[in-house]
Amino acid sequence: MSKTCLECGEKIVGREDKKFCSDSCRNAYNNKMNKDHNNLMRNINNKLRKNYRILNELNPDGKTKISRTKLLSKGFDFEFMTSIYQTKNGNTYYFLYDQGYMTIENDQYVLVKKDS
């Protein structure tokens, strides 16, 4: 019984459990399988990445205050986050992975970073 490459269909020579004829076919196949299949996912991931970079840049020390205007001027989009955390005393933090923010008085935000 001869097996064929999942990517190009060529005959596979070598180990019995091989699925690809070469590293380039394996890479091409996996790249196709792992790419974002539609623009919606790609756009959301790009917005999450951008928001994360903005928070990371503005919060180098792990905790700081910043204005809403400053966040918006950098291109921050408040619609995109990865999680929401509610504290026992009712405060709500919005997180992008380990970078978070919470609304405080006068259109100000406190930026925080979770400990790893």
Give me Rg for the CA atoms of the chain.
Answer: 23
Mean pLDDT of the chain: 92
- Write down the pLDDT at residue 31: 85
- Write down the pLDDT at residue 75: 96
- Reported as a single tens digit per residue, the pLDDT across 28-72 is 998 888 776 677 888 999 999 999 999 999 999 999 999 999 999
Count Cβ atoms below 10 Å from residue 45 Cβ, excluding itself. 12
Three-state DSSP class for 93? strand
Banded pLDDT at 23 (limits 50, 70, 90): very high
CA dist 101 and 113 (Å) reads 9
- Write down the pLDDT at residue 116: 63
